[in-house]
Structure formats: C-alpha cells, structure tokens
Amino acid sequence: MRTGRPRTPIGTHGAINTRRASGRVVAEARVRDLDGRLRQVRASGPTAAAARTRLLERIRERPSLPSAGVLRPTSSFADLADLWLADLELRDLAGNTKENYRTCLRLHVRPAFEHYTLAEVTTGRVEWFLAKQAKVSPSQAKQTRTMLNILFGYALRHDAIARNPVEGTSQLRRAKTTPQALTLEQIAAIREAAAKWRSEPGLPGPKPDGQVRDIIEVLLGTAMRPGEVLALRPCDMEDLPTGMIASVNGTVVQRKGSGAERQSRPKTDASIRRIPVPEFAADVLRRRIRDMPRDARTRTRTIFASRSGTPLSPYNIRRTFREFLLLADLGGSGISLRWYRRTGATVIARGIGTDAAATFLGHTSTVITEGHYIEPDPALDRTPAVHLERTLRPAAPDGSLLANRPADREAELLDAVDRESDDDAVA
C-alpha cells in the first residue's frame, strides 16, 4: 500500500520556499502541470514578499485546465446557466427547441439553484427538487430533469465537476395515458361546425376564409403535425396521375417577438418524408393552390397563409378550432388538433399495421406510435376462447376433464388439431 504525502492536484502548486541568492530573494515551488508532471518554478525579488508575489504570477500564467477562469466547482449555478445559454446560441437546433430550453431554465431551474455553487448542487438536492416538481406536474418534472442533465453535462465536459448529480436521481414516473382518436361521429360534428362557423348574416368583421376548416381536412388525411401542414408550399406537392404526394420538410413555429415563421426543418430528421395524400385532402390542397395569387412567390409561399402572405399563426388556428368544438357541443371533450394525428395513426394501424403507421407519421420506432398515437382496439379476439373450448370442454355432465382418459384424450387432441388445421387451410 502506497504511503507518503498526497499527490499534488493538477493545476496546483506545493509549498513555496524562499532563499537568498546574490543579494536577492528567490521563491520556488513545485507545480503539477496538465500532463501530470511536477516541475520546479522559480521567481526572484528584492524581498521575500515580492518574490512570492512574482512566483504566484508565473504560476497563474502557466497553461491551466480548460475550466480555469470559466467554470470551477466554486462557480455559481448562475454562471453555468449564463455560459450554457451563450453556447446554446451556437447550436444547430430548431428555434422552438431553443426557446423551450430558455423558458424552462428561466421559470423553473434557475430560481431553484442560482444561489448554489456547482459543488453544492448534490444528488440529494436535485432529487428533492424533482420530487417537488413532480407533485406539481409530472411533465414539468421531466422537462426540468432534462434541463438539469444538459446543464451539468456541460459543466462535466468543462471539468468543473467530477460527476453529474442528476444521474443518481430516481426515475420519474409518469401516469400512463391511453391515446384517444376521434370517432366518426365527432369528425362529422366538427366538420359541420366548421362549415357553419360565423356564417350567420349580419356578423361584424370579415367573413371566414375557410382556412382552418381546410386545415383540419388535411390533418385528417395526412396525419401530419399541425405545424407541418401550415408549412406546406406548392413546391412541396407532386400531383401525379396516380395521386398527390406531399413532401414534409418544414414546420411553422411561433417566434417570440416576430410571430409565425416557416422553419426549414420539421421536428426530427425522421419527420422528413414523402407521403401519399388521400383524394378528399388532395382536393382541398388543389383548390387552395389554384386560388393562390399568381406571382413569383407563389411556389415558395405557404399554401395556408395570412392576407399579407405570411404563415398562419398556430395559436390562431388552435383558437379557431376551439370555437369549432364549442359549436359542435364538444367543448369539454379534451379534443385538440393533435387528435387528428392519432386518428390517422389508429386507422392505418388497424387497417394495415403498426409499421405502416409509424412510417407514415415519421417515427423511427413503433414504440412511440403504439404508446402515444394508436388508440387500443376494443374488439376482442375470440380465437383463444374457441381453442380452449375445443380442448378443455368436459366430457361428462359431472365436469370431469377429458384428461381423465389419457389414451383417448391424446387421440382426441390430435383429431382436434388436425380438424383445426384443415379449417385454417380451407379458410
């Protein structure tokens, strides 16, 4: 077992010694550099104090750890947040993603930890904070945990901490929700309400242009996200003899201070896709493209746009849709525009399969599609019950099983299996 003096930490120095030489005072100390080696550093001055001061200046001027002067264990959490926000601006992330990070940091994370140093933010403190957040909202707790994990991962990469305190916290449990799709009756009621909305004579203001009514038809026929439908342009549509094909390559986001903008990338890379459009939705898109102004911008302007040609605001679309729901007596149903995406996923999964639904929706895995978009099928498969009936039905009124007669039972089981195989082959 190794004994002796503890090893000098990297970037620090040992004891400073002074001695006289040629009428001056020499101060010296051993410094452990970034390569792990100890080196002697000297400085001289007219007095011992001056020599020590000069030596410390030389030590500070030596190459140091990347975090020196930027982030250290003694740095405040507020310093970490500021540096990470500056780094965030350089990241190739969607504008909405950046804005969500800033909001979560400003409202929830920073107020809870800004008075701590990085070394003081322990796993226990993070655990307590997340438990408190989970009582308010499981979704909010999940977002704040992600935010903290990103921040301390950044500090870890800059050698400011030895370990990420978020990694040891308990997994957050989220109440499992069952995906719900629209029924045919609900679809019909919303369609009727959309057609009637603000159609009464004598109403003040401009007449509805029918854009929100058409948007929900395209949502129903494509299972796109609302922002993806709002971002569709004429140049994204291929109207072939075999039918229309839509290229999903962007989304509309609401920028703080600048309004709705078309972002030239959808939510994920897997969301970039080409999908066939059913005729009822294709007819809506053809009509909208046909009615667009014929100018040089027509091919790049969004199909659904404001009177000035800018993309429609997702907030305004949702507000109008809520009015449709009130008119259809569905105001308290919890239905939102996202239900159209679930409806498309459910119809495709039940008719073709989960894999087809995941591909159509732009998911990398069927796990996401099954867990969040496909409504469980209430229909029961009667095949297991039929098989149990054939196999285990009592042979006598007293309830005794066929297994009481092993030899006969084996023969009957084989006959049953043969008959079932023959039935399947005929079917």
Name 268's Cβ contacts closer than 8 Å, sequence gap at least 6.
Answer: 362, 364
How far is it, in rounded angstroms, from Cα 400 to Cα 422? Answer: 28
Asked whether the whole model's pTM tops 0.75, one would answer no
The reported pLDDT for the residue numbered 164 is 94
Q: What is the pLDDT of residue 72?
A: 84
pLDDT of residue 414: 54
* pLDDT score of 404: 46
Identify which of 217, 193, 220, 189 has the alpha carbon closest to the alpha carbon of residue 320.
193
Helix axes 279-290 and 211-222, enclosed angle (nearest 10)? 140
pLDDT for res 399: 56
Torsion, Cα of 22, 23, 29, 35 (10° steps): -50
At residue 67, the pLDDT reads: 45
pLDDT at 187: 95
Two tokens at 169? 């916290």
CA 33, distance to chain mean position in Å, is 42
State residue 322's pLDDT score.
96
Query: In this structure, are residues 253 and 231 in contact, taking their beta carbons and an 8 Å threshold?
Result: no
Q: What is the pLDDT of residue 210?
A: 92
Residues of the chain short of pLDDT 50, as ranges, are 1, 65-69, 296, 402-406, 409-410, 424-427
User: How confident is the model at residue 195, as a pLDDT?
Assistant: 93
Encode pLDDT of 383-410 as tens digits. 888 778 777 777 655 655 544 444 554 4
DSSP track, 374-421: PPPP-----HHHHHHHHHH--SSTT---GGGSHHHHHHHHHHHHHHHH
157 close to 320: Cβ distance less than 8 angstroms: no
Paired tokens of 426: 């005929």
Which of 11, 131, 133 has its CA nearest to residue 61?
A: 11
pLDDT at 159: 84
Residue 399's region, left for phi above 0, alpha for psi from -120 to 50, else beta, is left
User: Degrees (nearest 5) of the Cα angle 288, 199, 190?
Assistant: 70
**pLDDT score at 92:** 81
Q: What residues pair up with 25 in beta bridges, in sequence order?
A: 20, 45
Residue with tokens 């190794």: 2
